Chain A
Amino acid sequence: MTPVIALSLFGIINLFLGFTFKRQSLQVVTLLFIICSMALTAMDWNHEYLWFGDMMKTNNLSINFSLIIQLAGLLVVAFSNGFGKDEVYTQPAEYYAILLFSLVGALLMVSFQNLIMLFVGLEILSVAMYVLTGSDKRNLRSNEAALKYFLMGSFATGFLLFGIALVYGSTRSLYISGILYNLSHTAPESLPSFLYAGIILMGIGLLFKISAAPFHFWTPDVYEGAPTIFTMFMSTVVKTAGFAAIYHILDVTFGGFQKNWIITVYFITIITLILGNISAAYQQSAKRMLAFSSISHAGYMLLTVCANQPSTSSNILYYSLAYTLATAVSFAVLMVVAEYQTGRTEKPENFDALNGLAKNNPSLAFAFTVALLSLAGIPLTAGFWGKFFVFTDMFNKNLTYPIIIAVLMSAVGIYYYFKGIISVYFNSGEIEKIETSFLFKIALWSACIGTLVLGIYPTLLKSIF
């Protein structure tokens, strides 16, 4: 668990560097910090360790999740452009420090062995996100989003805590191993019925974080109101960490009680798929569309949680990685275009603001297109295989009806993702050449190439996951 310690230290160092260093170099330093902690994470490969009084466990699965989360953090930092040149209102040192702290929270969420640790991790991540959402202080929408996120998020945390309490009450342990032991040594009839309520409540608390319907109402507003760079962070890191936790709770810990929670989760999955996709089709704002698309992708990933097959964890990993790369690229392009269009058009985040991007910015347009194609699940992109593996799982479990809905919904998905491609390539508009930093370009291209390589040769990672 060295990365957890390292990242916390790095965050504190970052805060102090804010006094001494130039703002531009902070970005590079933060990148180095994250790369360093990724290396520390990878060093534990093929070892199983217990940490902090057995409250956390690292194994290959948690390392994979940690690496994806830190990769997302890396992309976000590289895309961040040093948070603009506004000397008065932005505090890059603090932002980078908070990003690092929230990564710590995410790492706790993927490797917890004790429910308290899950709660602590979730709160570290969430509180950091509340702050970052509201970091655009002069923007009313950003403030509104932060407050909304905070209020709704606290409720969800309440659910989670109550669920933990009920589970503790019925199994007399907060440790996953203890819970599993007690559950296997108690006759099912003698288990108190509030255990099931506890499982469902914990599920709800976590499903809120990954914005599954009907707990998704905060998502579009918060995603839209938050500065785009933090929306990117939210939709990649929080989602991956959330899914790691859901998998750990529902499939690993309470997999034996599947019949008790499966109906609820099924219902939530189907609603998520339908609501996310249909609402996304109606959006005029590209940013809002991506918010709804993140809801719909939560639906696809929940499908594999429902299937609960031996390959589920590897499918969640693959899907998260594909989704992370594509989402980061699409938000990044949206961000630089919106920055350029601010002041030029009334709504810089609408699809219309992207009109004619391909004319003078072919590489941005290409990257955006690859990202949208991957999100839509078109072959030769990573997103296709993500969906493919999920659907394979479903077929192995004979879950035919949800697949039919999922497949129909991915046809709906084409419509709204292609709206972006239509704006970029088909519509005419005046966008001059947008200058981006060197780090931005590197991050953009590596994410793009990653998406394509994973799309052509998925075995590359499937053999590791």
Chain B
Amino acid sequence: MEPDPMHVLIIDDSRAMRSILRRIVTDLGFTAVEAANGQEALDHLEAGLRPELCTIDWNMPVMDGYTFVSRVRSTPEWRDITLMMVTTESEHGQIVKALAAGAHEYVIKPFTPDAIADKFELLGVRAGVVA
């Protein structure tokens, strides 16, 4: 199944952070779907949601972002989903680990809306357009 180019799945245990990201991706023309941890996000994918991109926090209860990335990348039908870590984890080793696991991009909190928009542009992710 091809990704739905209009959906972004926001995965963060903080409702405040999800709210901030939802505003940004909505302004970019996407429909936001939210999950409070990696397991909730997997539940969305298993239910058939195919977002164009997932924003993923690292430190979350139940299932962390690194485990989520690893799970998505080990599932062939989800291989087209773009994965972007959005996290406070800024150690070089952590960034390398996430990218090696299959994340495409990495944004460190705090960020500005422009920083998120720039990353979407860099990844070729636009509402209604699959690069």
Report if A and B associate in a common complex. Answer: no
